[in-house]
Amino acid sequence: MPIQSFNFEVTRVCNGRCVYCDIWKTPNQQNEISIYQIRKGLQPLRFLEKTRVIGLTGGEPALRKDIIELAMILKTVCPNAQFSMVSNGLATERILSVMTELRRVDKNVTISISIDGLEETDSLLRGDPTHFQKAWKTVHALRAKGFSVCIGSMVTPKNIDELERLSDECVAHGIKHILMVVNKSRHYYANHNNTELQALQQIDTVKLKKIIKKINQNYHHYYLPKYLRNPRQMFPCFSGFTSFFLNAVGNVYPCIHLDHCLGNITQQTLGEVWNSDYAQQIRYSIVKKYCHCYTPCETQGWLMANIFPKIIRGLAVKLGD
């Protein structure tokens, strides 16, 4: 199977203080993977020639000083890929500058800004009383420059009653609104010892289902209440098959959740990591559904592979094709 997408944690440096993510508590990485190491490690090129999406994440990805040079290398390796950046929206001028330069590399670059509710609740969850105003300022500045922007919100008991109003605000500005749930990850969020997570994960699924029916903006939302009622791998997962997660020091994982490092591209090529016996073992465990999660980056692959073909076949039958 060709690799269709990957998420790249370009830095762990973060200016946010989110209560459900502990990346900002980890020491700043002094050994972040270099441009040279990326160029050398993402080999052979045929592995990535069909890659369609590269997610640039962090930390706060805009804070990586050489992110534009990094993007240029990635575009050389993955000429058909579209960049999609995730940002907390705090550093408006820096984000706007980075996105302007990224658009020179990829004219279709998109960005997601994180906002978790109305001002008071967002400030509480984001750990910063200035976040709400700064994030919206960034959203409006990006929209004024013609960028495709969406807003991502973590669903918690603290903000669930505000999500419909936030979504209405997004609709009023022509912005897509994506709902996500708080997840635990040792190698990405570093929140495996976070004592606040359990309370933040106790979501009223009946209420959430009603909200989703009202806002109804994204196919990712449809199965979210069902997953929360009975967490499990709902569809065959293609992480480690058609996608992967690359962290800031070059470690390759199947995804942001499954804490099994397949190898490091500063020590081996991606091809060697991808074809290793250990990688095959981890893929076997994924097929056997030993893991589960529900995030947009993973459900997109699930739904495109499992649901969309059924819809297309159904339409073909209806239309008599």
**pLDDT-based confidence at residue 14 (cuts at 50, 70, 90):** very high
Mean pLDDT score, 46-61: 93
- Strands 5-9, 53-57: pairing is parallel
Question: What secondary structure letter does DSSP report for 63?
Answer: G
CA distance 303 to 289: 16
CA distance 91 to 215: 29
CA distance 312 to 315: 5
pLDDT in the model for residue 321: 45
pLDDT tens figures, 197-253? 888 899 999 999 988 888 766 677 888 899 899 998 888 888 999 999 999 999 999
CA distance 84 to 76: 16
Report the length, in residues, of the chain. 321
CA distance 299 to 41: 27
Cβ atoms within 10 A of the Cβ of 46, count? 10
- Answer whether 45's CB lies under 8 Å from 79's CB: no
Cβ atoms within 10 A of the Cβ of 76, count? 12
pLDDT in the model for residue 318: 54
pLDDT tens figures, 123-149? 999 999 999 999 999 999 999 999 999
pLDDT tens figures, 138-179? 999 999 999 999 999 999 999 999 999 999 999 999 999 999
CA distance 43 to 117: 42
